[in-house]
Amino acid sequence: MTTPSLPHVRLKPKANARAIRHGFPWVYDNELVTDRRTKALAPGTVAVLEDDARAPMGLVAVNPKSRIICRMLEPGGQAAPDEAWFAARIARALSLRERLYPAPFYRLIHAEADGLPGVVIDRFGDVAVIQPNAAWAEVYLEPLVAALREVTGIAVVIKNAAGRARTLEGLDDETRVLCGQAPEGAVPVEMNGASYMADLTGGQKTGLYYDQRPNHAFAARLAPGARVLDVFSHVGGFALAALAGGAASALSVDGSAPALALAEQGARASGVADRFETRRGDAFDTMAALAGEGETFDLVICDPPAFAPSKQTLEKGLRAYERVARMAAELVAEGGYLVLCSCSHAADLTRFRGACARGIGKAGRQGVLIHTGFAGADHPLLPQLAESGYLKALFFRL
């Protein structure tokens, strides 16, 4: 149903209308005419975007309080979102995941690439955790959840409101159960032969990082007979996959006691607890301590948080990645493997690879890059939006 009463917003003459017509999904605040009427729109308002000649370009969600003032919802369209609109996009996303994965544990909605800008939904069997990271998704949360339940049959939906993205949109940080009853305790998730424990209400992000699934699998191919060190391990991501792949032992390092407790629980569920240890502490301090103890490992993995979440933090973040690479390289046995990861979209692959190479060199080591990994196929990449290709995993042999 078309809605001619929708407000209209207009691009400035110097805005890159061609990029938007070719699929770029965002309009920045300096590209839009922000008169008094536009500034008065409530965050999350759906409007018709026009070019500078007033020709309609599509349906957008507007947030005058955000640097990303418009997010494209439907190029060329003028139909406001309703439950059927959401259902069509969720069904399309679901058809891909069901083709890729035998069990319903995956990222179901990956924001712009699945046609729902700023919306992330991770599925854990009969439970979904949703991150409505844009103002419009918060406004339309009710029909979104109704469509999600209708299409998937999911009974429990949890809203996770943590994260930097919601802060930038001016949204609250209240995590709550939207429907159904949250599971008691951690939810087991089977991946790559290991059992992971996901805390869906109190854990990091949605409770588990599905994006690293293919990189866990590649690391497991390097693991038979190896001593493994997994730094910034969260709930044991790389370590448990390596043990399932035949590693002799694995040590997980993280600063979070609850995360390590979940890792230990996962090790027991995976039947590898006798080969698994944890050490709580600052990653840099712990790597320095291990080096001081003369420890070396056949496979070392570092999967830190985003050190460069924005362009403003890029240089500082690259120095941090270089430091990680240097300290980790010192712990790799001769002929061993080093895996270095980044989830910072501001640090592109070339810059990240350069920082890692510098760090390895400063450790007095030489390495060859044997594999470059990215997020799994349940995290599709929108080619026009570089930010959607945030995850990089570099596999070196030293």
**Known active-site residue 343:** yes
Q: Which pLDDT value is given to residue 345?
A: 87
Label residue 308 exposed, middle or buried (CB < 10 Å: 0-12, 13-18, 19+).
buried
Yes or no: say if 99 and 81 are a contact pair by the CB < 8 Å rule.
no
Yes or no: say if 210 and 376 are a contact pair by the CB < 8 Å rule.
yes
* Whether the predicted model's global pTM rises above the 0.85 cut: yes
CA dihedral 264, 195, 255, 324 (to 10 degrees): 130
Domains of the chain with bracketed CATH: 8-75 (2.30.130.10), 83-179 (3.30.750.80), 192-198+207-397 (3.40.50.150)
Which of 82, 42, 85, 76 shows the shortest CA–CA distance to 62? 42
Which of 53, 51, 58, 55 shows the shortest CA–CA distance to 78? 58
Q: Which pLDDT value is given to residue 4?
A: 58
Residue ranges of the chain with per-residue pLDDT less than 70:
1-4
Which of 70, 302, 341, 343 is catalytic? The answer is 343
